[in-house]
């Protein structure tokens, strides 16, 4: 259902609302499903250049994930950082990099790609 809603710009916000309503704590067997749905919606929102909604989902994912399990989130946050950089939104990309640093991660690849193209 969520993947179908993500196929059109007009309905992607319904998918956003659905994944945003997934409870913070889910059963262990549902964690992977929750994560893949979040990532899919984030990727689609970035494709439609709706960075605010994508950032909201990323922040919810960070809040819902235990600190010991946050290493899986670097890929997800990297999707948003790369989208920001490709769109020339370097300040927002740097804000997300600083967020990553606050939770203990350091990256530079998407930024190097973007700085070379954003002048």
Distance separating alpha carbons of residues 85 and 97, to the nearest angstrom? 11
Q: Which domain holds residue 107?
A: 2-117
The model's pLDDT over 68-90, given as tens digits with 9 standing for 90+, comes to 777 778 888 889 998 998 999 98
Domain count, the chain: 1
How far apart (Å, rounded) are the C-alpha atoms in residues 77 and 96?
A: 7
Q: Give the Cβ contact number of residue 3 at 10 Å.
A: 11
Confidence of residue 91 (pLDDT cuts 50, 70, 90): very high
For 23-63, what is each residue's pLDDT tens digit? 877 777 777 788 889 899 999 999 999 999 999 999 988 88
């Amino acid at each position: 259902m969520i993947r179908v809603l993500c196929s059109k710009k007009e309905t992607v916000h319904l998918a956003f609302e659905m994944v945003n309503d997934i409870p913070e704590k889910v059963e262990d067997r549902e964690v992977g499903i929750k994560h893949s749905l979040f990532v899919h919606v984030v990727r689609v929102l970035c494709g439609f250049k709706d960075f605010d909604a994508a950032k909201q989902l990323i922040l919810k994912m960070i809040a819902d994930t235990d600190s010991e399990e946050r290493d899986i989130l670097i890929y997800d946050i990297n999707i948003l950082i790369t989208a920001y950089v490709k769109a020339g939104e370097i300040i927002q990309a740097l804000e997300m990099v600083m967020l990553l640093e606050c939770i203990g991660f350091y990256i530079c690849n998407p930024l190097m790609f973007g700085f070379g193209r954003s002048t």
